[in-house]
A and B are shown apart, each in its own frame.
Chain A
Amino acid sequence: MNVTRDFTGRARVHNPGLPPGQYDAGDDWPVLSAEVTPDLTAADWSFRVDGLVERPRAWDWDEARALPGSEYAGDIHCVTSWSKFGVRFGGVSLDAFLDVVRPLPTATHAVAYAHTGYTTNLPLADLTGGRAWIAFEYGGRPLPPEHGGPARLLVPHLYFWKSAKWIAGIRLLDHDEPGFWEQNGYHARGNPWREQRYAGD
């Protein structure tokens, strides 16, 4: 593409943590969700892991909070071009849940779904090995409802639409199955470093 006449961009320092096409949102944390924020309290919340697993099960709030805690401190990246540096989420590693249900060898992918009905698909490998969390806290405080509280999925190495708010469950599959935004033209995986924004990228 040609240079845009008279455009220089804001003063920039090279930030190796900024994926291509992204900008630093600073203190802002834009809210992006397509649906009405649900009235979902901790008492209403539950989280289920099933599909291709040995022992499907569901956790209520107290049961999930009783699992060993795990923090994520790092960056997040939204497909709408903002990135946010040095954020801190508190929760439970998804590995802790998967250790209980024991995925079958045939499980290759997952669909994460929210209490609103929102869905998003992920390769199982993106959810294991300490790369995904069920997050309950942000910056040491309960996760605000508009950001997915009381609990959201957190998969910070992928674009943030994969980190389903108001997470209700994860179903393990032997195939990939597009979720809500993926059916609306977004990329199946969404790796920010490869700029996998839309189908075809």
Chain B
Amino acid sequence: MTETSTPRTRFAVPGRIAVSNRAAARWQTATLTEIRRETPRAASFRFAVPAWAGHLPGQHLMLRLTAPDGYTAQRHYSISSAPDDSGHLELTLDHVDGGEVSGWFHTRARPGDEVAVRGPLSGFFAWPGDRPALLVGAGSGVVPLMSMVRLHRARGLTVPLRLLVSARSPEELIYAREYGAETLPVFTREAPPGVPVGRLAAAHLAPVLAERPAGGWEAYVCGSNAFAEHASRLLVAAGQPVDRIRIERFG
């Protein structure tokens, strides 16, 4: 470990969460079994991956498409489903303008199609369900966080978990039907009657941070870089320790 070699520095990176990386090096065939529309721009894609080694909520995979001439395109995608032993996993993809891979998924893909995946990858953003989790996401940044919410629900966990999710409008709120009392949606352009419109602010975070669960919150922030910068600065300003904030940025 680097403890012996690396001097103490002013800021700290949160410790890693141990996961097995044995499966990460191997490409496997994933067969599309179901497509569910979530919003006008986002859909969920369910795959059968029979030898999938399992994952922790927050982990991602690498996905590869292959053209007839051998050309390949690969991208990282967060896993949205909770880990289970069904041999299935789900991704939720935005239809990116001009997106080579997301474009194929949104306009061509149908059940029975096969793609290649490898993973799960990276334990840094993972949540094993063992610590209070304050989840802050925007747009499709909610995808890895939803895996955490779903695990929390599926296992009936009692460890505190809160989700603050920012979307432009109710229509664009991914997984809108699935949220419960753990979730506070924030709408930036258009909101339901009686709900204020505006970006995520200190006032949204204050009541959650004031709860102070035993051991404190582990914060998970996911979204565009602009959102990740904004949300992580709000958290730091509100007293959340910098080494208890994990960030996943969508490039």
Binding site for B on A (CB under 8 A): 1-10, 12, 21, 23, 28, 30-38, 48, 51, 78, 80-82, 111, 113-119, 146, 168-169, 171, 173, 177-181, 183-186, 197-201
Q: In the docked arrangement, what's the CA distance between A9 and B235, Å? A: 40
Chain A-chain B contacts (Cβ-Cβ < 8 Å), number: 164
Docked-complex contact A36 and B245, CB < 8 angstroms: yes
Q: In the docked arrangement, what's the CA distance between A179 and B1, Å? A: 8
Binding site for A on B (CB under 8 A): 1-2, 5-7, 9-14, 16, 19, 21, 24-25, 27, 29, 62, 64-68, 71-76, 98, 100, 104, 108, 113-116, 118, 121-125, 225, 228-229, 232-233, 235-236, 242-243, 245-251
**Ordered nearest first, which 8 A-B pairs have the shortest CB separation?**
A30-B251, A200-B25, A185-B21, A31-B225, A116-B11, A4-B65, A117-B13, A6-B108
Q: In the docked arrangement, what's the CA distance between A173 and B5, Å? A: 8
Assuming the A-B contacts A4-B104, A33-B247, A184-B123, are A146 and B229 also in contact, with contact meaning beta carbons closer than 8 angstroms in the complex? yes
**A23: B residues at CB distance < 8 A:** 73, 100
Docked-complex contact B5 and A34, CB < 8 angstroms: no
A95 vs chain B, min Cβ distance (A): 22
Q: List 15 A-B contacts (CB under 8 A).
A: A3-B66, A4-B66, A4-B113, A6-B108, A7-B65, A9-B72, A35-B14, A36-B11, A36-B233, A37-B232, A114-B9, A116-B11, A171-B5, A185-B21, A200-B21
**B1: A residues at CB distance < 8 A:** 177
> Which of A51, A119, A146 is within 8 Å of B2, CB to CB?
A119
**B10: A residues at CB distance < 8 A:** 38, 115
Assuming the A-B contacts A116-B12, A179-B2, A183-B16, are A198 and B24 also in contact, with contact meaning beta carbons closer than 8 angstroms in the complex? yes
| A37 nearest in chain B by CB position | B229
A71 vs chain B, min Cβ distance (A): 25
> Which of B7, B116, B124, B232 is within 8 Å of A113, CB to CB?
B7
Q: In the docked arrangement, what's the CA distance between A146 and B227, Å? A: 12
| A200 nearest in chain B by CB position | B25
Docked-complex contact B74 and A111, CB < 8 angstroms: no
Q: In the docked arrangement, what's the CA distance between A38 and B229, Å? A: 10
Docked-complex contact B229 and A199, CB < 8 angstroms: no
Docked-complex contact B9 and A185, CB < 8 angstroms: no
Q: In the docked arrangement, what's the CA distance between A9 and B71, Å? A: 7
Docked-complex contact A1 and B66, CB < 8 angstroms: yes
Docked-complex contact A30 and B7, CB < 8 angstroms: no
Docked-complex contact B225 and A30, CB < 8 angstroms: yes
**A33: B residues at CB distance < 8 A:** 247, 249
**A9: B residues at CB distance < 8 A:** 65, 67, 71-73, 100
B244 vs chain A, min Cβ distance (A): 10
**A30: B residues at CB distance < 8 A:** 225, 249-251
Q: In the docked arrangement, what's the CA distance between A23 and B74, Å? A: 9
**A199: B residues at CB distance < 8 A:** 21, 24-25
Docked-complex contact A1 and B116, CB < 8 angstroms: yes
Docked-complex contact B2 and A177, CB < 8 angstroms: yes
Docked-complex contact A10 and B100, CB < 8 angstroms: yes
Docked-complex contact A185 and B232, CB < 8 angstroms: no
Q: In the docked arrangement, what's the CA distance between A199 and B119, Å? A: 12
Docked-complex contact B71 and A116, CB < 8 angstroms: no
**B11: A residues at CB distance < 8 A:** 35-36, 38, 115-117
Q: In the docked arrangement, what's the CA distance between A183 and B76, Å? A: 19
Q: In the docked arrangement, what's the CA distance between A30 and B2, Å? A: 28
> Which of A113, A168, A181, A185 is within 8 Å of B24, CB to CB?
A185
> Which of A4, A81, A146, A184 is within 8 Å of B124, CB to CB?
A184
Q: In the docked arrangement, what's the CA distance between A178 and B21, Å? A: 14
| B114 nearest in chain A by CB position | A2
**A1: B residues at CB distance < 8 A:** 27, 29, 64, 66, 116
